[in-house]
Amino acid sequence: MFHFLRVAVRRNGEALSGLRTTILNSGLLEPKDKLRWLGEDSQYFEGLIVDRPYYAALTSLAGSVLTEPDLFVTTERETLAEHLKKALAERTELPLLAKALSLFPETYRDISALTVEPGEQPVFGLIFSSWFRNGLPLEPVRSAFLYWLWRFNTHLFIQMPLALCLKAYPGLCEAVSESLAVWLDRHGTKFQAGFVYRAWLDAGGALDVVEQAVLAWLAQEDRALSPEAEFVYKAWLNAGGSLGEIRAYLLTWLTHGDNATRVGADFVLKAWLAAKGDFRDVRVPAFAWFKDHHLREDSTFLSKYLVRQKQLTNEVIRQILTWCSTWPNNIDALYRFCQLGLHKHLKDPYLAEPVAAAGRLLLDTWRDKRGRPNPINLIIGLLYFLYQQPGLEDRMEDWDSDFLALLHSGDAFHPNIPPRREFQDRSWLTHIRRLTQTGRLDEVTDKKSYDRFLGWLNQWI
């Protein structure tokens, strides 16, 4: 279609001149082809800046580039930039300026700040939204935005600029609080209010300002099950909101459809557990989410809370160990392994193989690392739990070389390294004796290592 239209216009340019903007605003061509056409046959589009449909076409094309930027090559973006420049120099169309500001913030920030200065038009919200999404400095538009917010604080449409402003500039909570109160009185139970509640609470706004409004919002039909409710629950919990007030709503959301396993549900689960919510309430959805997502690196943020629980299934423990083997360079892998041991989750011989596999990878990754604060007590703990693991009693030699390397390095088992109480166990003496009897340690040639180790023992409580 692109080539057909291009040939037709080249042959009958004058006859088809009235169709130029119609074609640009139609679905006959893909956005990429429209930009190619604007760039390669620019002579056929001279004079279009007087046509309002041309501005509509550019606004749509700019929106396409914003939505899927990876689809457009540099020349296509340059073509759009050139047409935006000419069009906005001729006439300031606010929807087009808002898109231009989103795409090229440094080019259009000054003209945008001047344009919104009176703060009198509802459509200025488009400019403010683009400004805030780009995280541009607040000061050039601060007074205009606060006036605009006050001027239209009874209108539903202020919700997006308000939410974006709070996200970009958390320190503005107090300045917008009066307008927010008026807006909530009119629109607090409408669906769009969820974006505002989330932004307000995430920005550190006072909970009591929105507390009753949030509960009223959740009480609306099916609102507690909506996708936006996920973010409201998280923000509420992170802000210190009452667990009891939202418990029923949150648990209903977690058990609805596939909510428990969707990406993002872990933020709700983490927020609940971080707020000291009862693990029994979320045990099933937490395990379900972790089963589906335990290979993601960021699943460590949920496993941080899982390992602290008194009762974990062997399946979940194996999943955490698999995560440790998958991401051994993440220091959280050391923490998770040792936390499993500290919380008595590694007592089952059934876990011997995944424990050994994860332990080997972690020792190889961390044992000899230097430079950063070396997590030496974690490495000692890792070695301790490998030696203690039921089912690995006949494989102690697998860890002996690591133990000897740490003894001789001077970094571990040293009197200057305060030992954690949990790892103060007489079994270390058993290993020293066994290695001495087998000739791998010598009381004379390895005297410095012996002395450091004895100094470490003397630090025990």
State the pLDDT at residue 11.
55
Residue 289 near residue 260, CB atoms below 8 Å = yes
Please enumerate, as own/partner, the contacts of 172-180 that have beta carbons within 8 Å and a separation of 24 or more: 172/138, 172/203, 173/200, 173/203, 173/204, 173/205, 173/206, 175/146, 176/146, 176/149, 177/205, 177/209, 178/150, 178/153, 179/146, 179/149, 179/150, 179/153, 180/153, 180/209
State the pLDDT at residue 1.
54
State the pLDDT at residue 15.
47
Query: What's the pTM value of the predicted model, to 2 decimals?
Result: 0.84
Q: pLDDT by residue (tens digit) across 199-252?
A: 999 999 999 999 999 999 999 998 999 989 999 999 999 999 999 999 999 999
Q: How far apart are CA 341 and CA 322, in angstroms?
A: 15
Residues with pLDDT less than 50, the chain:
15
Closest by Cα among 357, 352, 403 to 380: 403
Q: pLDDT by residue (tens digit) across 261-304?
A: 999 999 999 999 999 999 999 999 999 999 999 999 999 999 99
Contact residues for 176 (Cβ-Cβ < 8 A; gap 6+): 146, 149, 162, 165, 166
State the pLDDT at residue 363.
95
Please enumerate, as own/partner, the contacts of 396-401 that have beta carbons within 8 Å and a separation of 24 or more: 396/431, 396/434, 398/356, 398/360, 399/359, 399/363, 400/431, 400/435, 400/440
